[in-house]
Structure 1
Amino acid sequence: MRRLAWIMMAAGLPATGFAQDAVIRIEAKRSEAAAAQAAANWDERFDDVVTFDLPRGWTAIGLGPFSPEEAEKRLQDMKSAQQIPQDSFVAIPGDDVILTPFAADAREALSEGELAPAAKDTATPVELPTGSYIRLQSLQSEAEARDALEEWRKTFPAAGLWALGNGWYSVALGPMTPEAAQGWLRAFNASGDVPGDAFASEAVEMGDILIEGQDPQLGLGEAVALPPLDQVQRVLKWAGRYDGDIDGKTGPMTRKAIATAVSDLRVSPDAGATIAELMRQRDAWRVEMGLSTLRDEATGLSLSAPMEKLSFDRAERALSIYKPRNGSGAALILFSQPGGQQELQDLAGLVTALGWVPRPERMVERGHILLRGANDDHISHAEGWVRDGRAEGFVLIWPGSDAQNQARIAAEITDSLTRHAPGANEARIADPATALTP
């Protein structure tokens, strides 16, 4: 930096600091020559380029000085116009930091080779830290920064705390490759887990470690093509991350569910890779739960159900009832009868009166009804539809201690429930059920 400052002073420009003023940080370079060349390149586009020292021998290139308010406004304007890198940010240098303006005379000195190579340094070279970090939040008070770290670790347990060279403190996540830092920054922004002003920073810009974090193990992974959206919605519903319709259409609920899944699973910032992992988990879960295809002859309904936990009990009028097998605590009731909205609501009333869904929360709309309830022992889910002139649906009763599997099985039944034949329940057949393995 000594030679770079000499060039500026040779051009007749004062190398003085601008206390408490802000600058827009654009980039940083390790060598004086690289910093001078970068400053010259930016000087072709802007007339207020400055450079200043960073920790560990790095040099920052920026624009300024401005008031903090002016810097923020100009930063956003230039980012919107794509005039500067999207990871540029506003910095307030410390009182001991000298901002060195760049000028045309300095460019001429650079082009004429006056920036001579540095003398060979015979001292043991300093090993510079490598990798990139996602800066989650920066604060001026160390006490506030420590409190912020404790809060951030609820979302990112691997986060650490750094003392920056400008008197500020930063909660950050890393290290990781620069590509991974940019990819995960976009992913965490999309999920709302980090603020919009979070940015990626190189390790050499991080200052000193106050509280060491852990390796967040955030890699890029391989990009995978996203399946059709109806399949995406199904697996997100199974995972409890999506509660909308399976319509194969992109919308805010679907986009938010995908972004949340990417952030929560943290296998890759790529949405396709995340959905592929969810599908792999669902396939393994289906095997573990013993799901198979149930074709119920009494109601004419076909669905995917945990038949290892259920045993056919009896058929009564519009109902086909499956009791717990081997003390599983699970039960399933299928219902189907000719009719419309009134018959559907009558069936919902019967379900409530029999206590199959205790203290239910109801959602009633034309052609569809949903009841959810629980007591100390069980969680229940009842859902019905009016389809092709019939009121049909199911009630799932599940042990209260296993809420996650209850929600997943209810989603599987909702997604798979179809009619395979006309209902035979009016005929009062003796044993209407058969279970088919996939």
Structure 2
Amino acid sequence: MRRAVRAGLAMAFVAGWPLAGHAQDAVIRIEAKRGAEAAAEAAANWGRQFDDVVTFPMARGWFGIALGPLDPAEANARLAELKAANAIPADSFVSVPEGVELTPLAADAQSDTSDGADTGGSGNASLAAGAAAGEGGGSLLSGDDIVIDGRAEDQPGSVEETVTGRGPGGAVAEPEPDPQPSAPGTHIRLQTLAGQAEAESALAEWRQTFPEASLWRIPGGRFAIALGPLEDATANAWLAAFREAGQVPRDAFTSDAAEMGEALETGPDLALPAPGETQEMPPLEDIQRALRWAGHYDGAIDGKTGPQTRAAIAAEVANLRLSPDAGTAMRLLIERRAEWRQEMGLTELRDDYTGLSAIAPLDVLEFNRNERSLAIYGPKNDSGAALILFSQPGGQQELLDMTGLVTALGWVPQPERSISQGHALLEGQNADHIGHAEGWVRDGRAEGFVLIWAASAAEDQARVAAELSDSLSRFAPAQNDAQATAPASPADDTTQP
């Protein structure tokens, strides 16, 4: 019995040895299975019908089952013949595997009976050996034990000795390990293309939005750009979120991993959280302020739902990637803004001289002086920040005069101007600092602020400017009206913060 088992193992071991295919060898792809054991079983079933069944590894623990290797022309002719005879699945196709080894089906797996030897099950020997490794009773190719009817019997020699005649010092071929547990199996299909060259070009474009995008050769010989794999519920929830943000086509869809075929080029892992319970949307004014802080909204803080607000919410959900649920994502965004405000030391500043209040970063500012229509707060601890509040009686002309002063003093370098009735905005920067000046005509007064910030902290500057713009308001009459008959002159050096 032991000699029979050894003989059977030797035949399986040799017959299942990988073949080095020629560069242009083609195969007819007929099936794919996840895991070595399932692939071995499927290959054995096909082996009862065909004598040239081969298997080869694919991405993420999948194995392809094919017929070959064949000359490409012969493969295409045979594919048509077999399809016409309904001998293979209708979606079978010809491919030219590159960089992989084709493993022929073991000889004993191509018939229902072997030469009296029990090799531990049907199927491709190298796959079956890998599937058996680590299970109770030991591995068929362990060299120490051979399993017969579920019992391990001691053997005097190794499988290596039996097959090659070499002693214990020779290199013993290791059985293939079990495949790792399969990853979640749903992909978001972004685009399907006919040719590989155009698919590779499309992949490069998609990766500008989704660096995690992958390229697949799908059954039928076409090519797909996809995201994944993900759990099914996660994939469908994020597909809806990406559609709402306009980041994927309306006809994008989800596809099971079994339908994806062969991965040609994979991207980084796609980290998208699973959908949780749907949460109620926070107040719209809070959402608009948080969206403005995040840089996705520049409309009015009016608490009204409009196309600009809806588009900003969808964009933030897709870009933030904290939750596919808009209510949850907006609550998380508001929390992030609150944490940032605390880190920046944003608190209410009430300036009696101008009668203005605003949310300002007082951790980096300290009062310097009042002058004419200006209240000047300079940098604290060499922070490089400054804030100037201005307020004086007047209208549009006084507001324009103030923008001229801001430009002349270099508070906003090389500014881009946005002037409308009752509102003025200047933004600019140089190598050292960023300037933002904004003013309004309100209740017969021209009032506003100038923020000066270090150029090295542009993101914080934009957010602080948004906080100031949203919060600037009057809490008391100004004390400077008697001195504010005209704005300070550019020639007056004392106006430098």
TM-score range (shorter-chain normalised) is 0.5 to 0.7
Name which of 401, 404, 410 aligns with 1:346.
401
* Paired position in structure 1 for 2:210: 156
Whichever residue aligns with residue 303 of structure 1, its letter is A
Give the CA deviation at 1:345: 1.5
Q: Is the 8 A contact 1:289 1:306 kept in 2?
A: yes
* Distance in structure 2 (CA, Å) of the matches to 1:173 and 1:98: 35
Change (3 A) 1:128 1:381: closer
Name which of 227, 242, 255 aligns with 1:201.
255
Whichever residue aligns with residue 198 of structure 1, its letter is A
Question: Normalising to structure 2: TM-score of the pair?
Answer: 0.60
Q: Is the 8 A contact 2:281 2:327 kept in 1?
A: yes
* Paired position in structure 1 for 2:306: 251
Gaps of 5+ in 2: 1-62, 66-78, 87-120, 132-180, 484-497
Match status 1:365 vs 2:403: no
Change (3 A) 1:163 1:399: same
* Distance in structure 2 (CA, Å) of the matches to 1:239 and 1:217: 21
* Paired position in structure 1 for 2:178: none
Change (3 A) 1:97 1:337: farther
* Identical positions, percent: 57
* Distance in structure 2 (CA, Å) of the matches to 1:350 and 1:232: 35
Gaps of 5+ in 1: 1-54, 58-93, 101-121, 429-438
Name which of 293, 297, 300 aligns with 1:242.
297
Give the CA deviation at 1:224: 1.8
Change (3 A) 1:410 1:260: same
Q: Is the 8 A contact 1:56 1:128 kept in 2?
A: no
1:415-426 aligned within 5 A? 415-426=470-481
Whichever residue aligns with residue 212 of structure 1, its letter is T
* Distance in structure 1 (CA, Å) of the matches to 2:183 and 2:369: 70
State the aligned residue count.
Answer: 317
Could you list the per-position Cα deviations for residues 2-33 of structure 1 after superposition, in whole angstroms to 9, with x for gaps in the alignment? Answer: xxxxxxxxxxxxxxxxxxxxxxxxxxxxxxxx
Could you list the per-position Cα deviations for residues 122-162 of structure 1 after superposition, in whole angstroms to 9, with x for gaps in the alignment? Answer: 96899987521101111122232233223322222222221
1:397-412 aligned within 5 A? 397-412=452-467
Give the CA deviation at 1:263: 1.0
* Distance in structure 2 (CA, Å) of the matches to 1:221 and 1:382: 42
Match status 1:137 vs 2:203: no
* Paired position in structure 2 for 1:211: 265
* Distance in structure 1 (CA, Å) of the matches to 2:437 and 2:84: 69
Instruction: Quote the RMSD (CA, aligned, Å).
Output: 2.6
Give the CA deviation at 1:97: 6.4
Match status 1:227 vs 2:279: no
* Paired position in structure 2 for 1:318: 373
Change (3 A) 1:308 1:129: closer
* Distance in structure 2 (CA, Å) of the matches to 1:279 and 1:262: 12
Name which of 438, 442, 446 aligns with 1:391.
446
Could you list the per-position Cα deviations for residues 235-275 of structure 1 after superposition, in whole angstroms to 9, with x for gaps in the alignment? Answer: 10011111111122222211111111111111111111111
* Distance in structure 1 (CA, Å) of the matches to 2:310 and 2:339: 25
* Distance in structure 2 (CA, Å) of the matches to 1:135 and 1:311: 55
Match status 1:329 vs 2:384: yes
* Distance in structure 1 (CA, Å) of the matches to 2:468 and 2:376: 15
Equivalent position SS for 1:425:
coil
* Distance in structure 2 (CA, Å) of the matches to 1:327 and 1:299: 25
Could you list the per-position Cα deviations for residues 332-383 of structure 1 after superposition, in whole angstroms to 9, with x for gaps in the alignment? Answer: 0000111222221221222122221121111111211111111121111111
Match status 1:172 vs 2:226: yes
Higher relative contact order (CA 8 A, sep 6+): 1
Change (3 A) 1:318 1:267: same
Max radius of gyration: which structure? Answer: 2
Identify which range, 127-136 or 206-215, moves more after superposition: 127-136
